[in-house]
Amino acid sequence: MASDEIAVANPSFEELKKAGLSVHEVVNATFAGTQQLLKVTEPIKNVTLQLGANRTELEDALAGTYYRMCLLMESLTRLNHKNDFQVALHCARLMYELYLDIVDLIRDASLLSKIKAFTFVARFAAAEKLVRELDRQGITDATTNPHERQFVANPANQKKFDAERLAHWKSDKGKPRTPMNWMDQTLPERTATIGDDELLRYRRLYSMLCWYSHAGIVGIANISAEGLESAMGLAHGHSQDFFFAATTLIANKFDIYKANPALKPPIEEFKQTTAKMIVAYMQQLQPESE
């Protein structure tokens, strides 16, 4: 895949390239957008965290998920070298999955019980698999992975493991079943439930994001250095999209804009940030060309 083919996949890249900027300058301008978005959304993060014990269980889950996205955005502001493209794209994939969690929880509050149950179920299942493998290999020394052994051997934990699975993910025969994830759905199934547009976005982006999260050469084979640098810009651009959308959902769900309308305009104005970054960057370049 040629670098230009990657670059034009995101409309903002197309707009930036029309301004006469190089790929490197486009990526730098997009990176500046990440910095700006994190700055203007900080009040939303602060409000959700300050609510503390006043949050409902649903709000607590949403706040925790959104805070993880805030931390990822902070990480992205430190990933400003072209060689960081793999980590930046991995962050973009996480941002997308966390965004979907927020969408699903707001769409259907009854799903909260599943995400809470899966926290325990996933930990127990992982510990159980480890203990079974130790036993299979004849490693019976109680000092080997003692915490996992004790966790699995606790009758109360086994009872809770079965009860949670029966409540949320039992098999067709009515037996406890361990789900693939808290929704027990593939991402295509989840995005299709949200809507056709989301399913299309998933199809357009997710495979590419996975190429940089998994081992292998799919994401780098036959791609120029310039193309890989433009992928870095894509990571920032799409992460901005996910984070902007999540911020809007959280602000509305927590009635933050209703309580403080002054917080909304700076975030809404972010939509113009890319254009402002073009102007700023071209102003910086002007003295060098004279």
* % of the chain residues with pLDDT over 70: 86
Would residue 41 count as lying in a domain?
yes
Would residue 175 count as lying in a domain?
no
Is residue 38 packed enough to be buried (19+ CB in 10 Å), middle (13-18) or exposed (0-12)? middle
pLDDT tens, 241-257? Answer: 999 999 999 999 999 99
pLDDT tens, 11-48? Answer: 455 665 666 778 888 888 889 889 999 999 999 999 99
Number of domains composing the chain: 2
Would residue 183 count as lying in a domain?
no
Global model pTM greater than 0.85 = yes
Same domain, 147 and 239: no
Would residue 178 count as lying in a domain?
no
pLDDT tens, 218-232? Answer: 988 888 888 889 899
Is residue 78 pLDDT above 60, yes or no?
Answer: yes
The pLDDT value recorded for residue 273 is 58
Please give the residue range of the domain that contains residue 138: 113-169
Is residue 7 pLDDT above 50, yes or no?
Answer: no
Structure tokens at 277: 């970054």
* pLDDT confidence bin for 5, thresholds 50/70/90: very low
* pLDDT confidence bin for 264, thresholds 50/70/90: very high
Same domain, 62 and 14: yes
Same domain, 16 and 104: yes
* pLDDT confidence bin for 280, thresholds 50/70/90: low
Would residue 179 count as lying in a domain?
no
Is residue 187 packed enough to be buried (19+ CB in 10 Å), middle (13-18) or exposed (0-12)? middle
The position carrying tokens 């547009």 is: 197
Would residue 43 count as lying in a domain?
yes
The position carrying tokens 């899966």 is: 118
Is residue 8 pLDDT above 50, yes or no?
Answer: no
pLDDT tens, 93-106? Answer: 999 999 999 999 99
Would residue 174 count as lying in a domain?
no
The pLDDT value recorded for residue 167 is 96
Pairwise pLDDT comparison (290 vs 272), residue with the higher score: 272
Same domain, 270 and 200: yes
Closest alpha carbon to 29 in 184, 227, 232: 232
CB 177 within 8 A of CB 170: yes
What is the Cα–Cα distance from 53 to 49, expressed in whole angstroms? 10
Task: Give the HSE-up count for residue 54: Cα atoms under 13 Å, Cβ half-sphere.
Answer: 6
The pLDDT value recorded for residue 58 is 95
Q: How far is CA 24 from CA 57, 85, 233, in A?
A: 44, 13, 9
